[in-house]
Amino acid sequence: MELRSNQTMTALYCRLSQEDELAGKSNSIHNQKQILKEYVEWNGFQNLRSFVDDGYSGVTFDRSAYLEMMAEVEAGRVSTIIVKDHSRLGRNRLVVGILLEETFAQYHVRYIAVNDGVDTINGIDDSIAVRDSFNEWHARDTSKKVKTVIMAAGRAHRDLRLLRLQEG
């Protein structure tokens, strides 16, 4: 959909990390898009544009679609950002806090996290900071678990090679 120069858009943002993909279908890009589609239809949002980062951790904000969306925000072309759940925006509590409390406010951007009941039109609830802390902790915990599995697989592969060398 092409926006006229005087229109602002509703940005639909989806993100899926490799770790989220391992957790199952509930966070899939398709699932996120479907939830957002139903939400915007039910609530009458218009001038929609999707931004999708597939395979990006929420810990980093160097994500192509996120950066493109934020350029649109800074250009004054975004009125609302909608995500499936708050963790899709990011898993760094400091950056997310600045986005919600400063950046989005500065550019008059409404932020909605559908499944978490977050809508900045109602203000920013103190529980969001707790969610942000949990989201950051979850990313660190998942990262440690993934590294442990990779290291264990590497050790098993090494041990198998050594066993074959000893046998042969």
pLDDT of residue 123: 84
Alpha carbon distance 56, 87 (integer Å): 12
Is the pLDDT confidence value at 59 over 80? yes
* Residue 150 within a domain: yes
Task: State the total domains in the chain.
Answer: 1
Output the domain CATH number for residue 51: 3.40.50.1390
* Residue 2 within a domain: no
* Residue 44 within a domain: yes
Question: Domain span at residue 28?
Answer: 9-167
* Residue 128 within a domain: yes
Over the stretch 148-163, which tens digit does the pLDDT of each residue have?
Answer: 544 555 555 565 666 6
Kindly state the average pLDDT of the residues 139-151: 47
Cβ(65)–Cβ(13) under 8 Å? yes
Alpha carbon distance 13, 127 (integer Å): 22
Kindly state the average pLDDT of the residues 86-101: 91
Please, what is the average pLDDT of the chain?
81
pTM of the shown model: 0.73
- % of the chain at pLDDT higher than 90: 54
